[in-house]
Homo-oligomer: A and B are copies of this chain.
């Protein structure tokens, strides 16, 4: 593989996913940090050279760029056991990855970012009003995960896949957004399995 560079804000769970995937498959990543609180991913240079969508993470492979965290994880894991070889299981893995970006991240990660990084006082009125709706939707997502994990060790099949890695990233810091993970014992047991994996790396590593 050509040299891989991760353009990131390291406290972002979306960026951590890519690092955790890289650790599992043994790909070294060069890391470049941008402070999103200072708008460093909205500069003309970033928009032109890295990602016109103004977001991190972006995985750079040689001189080409892959925005969208879950797509970057897929690139790194392609051909590895993190992506099931069975057709149904492969689609089922993507099902949980799309669920993560649609139902989980916009609620759990956003409330965490607002409360733990931006701060309640600095939020707009519209943002403050949305906290209740996002907290309910985030808990609905955690409940769906918990129900699924009550009788399973991993989200898909019988070993760890990208579905687990991508859902773990923001779940394991959901308490920073005020979510009570003790309500979801299946989720807690699953997180422990992930953290015990010999190739696991922590978010602040």
Contact = CB atoms under 8 A, between A and B. Distances in A.
B52 A71 contact: no
Nearest to A147: B52
B103 A101 contact: no
B95 A68 contact: yes
Contacts of A97: 71, 98
Given A88-B64, A133-B126, A144-B53, A94 B71 contact: yes
Interface residues of A, number: 37
A25 interface: no
Contacts of A78: 87, 90-91
Number of copies: 2
Interface string A126-169: 10011001000000000010011000000000000000000000
A130 B129 CA distance: 11
Interface in A58-78: 61, 64, 66-72, 74-75, 78
Contacts of A67: 95, 99
Interface of A: 52-53, 61, 64, 66-72, 74-75, 78-79, 87-88, 90-92, 94-95, 97-99, 101-103, 105-106, 126, 129-130, 133, 144, 147-148
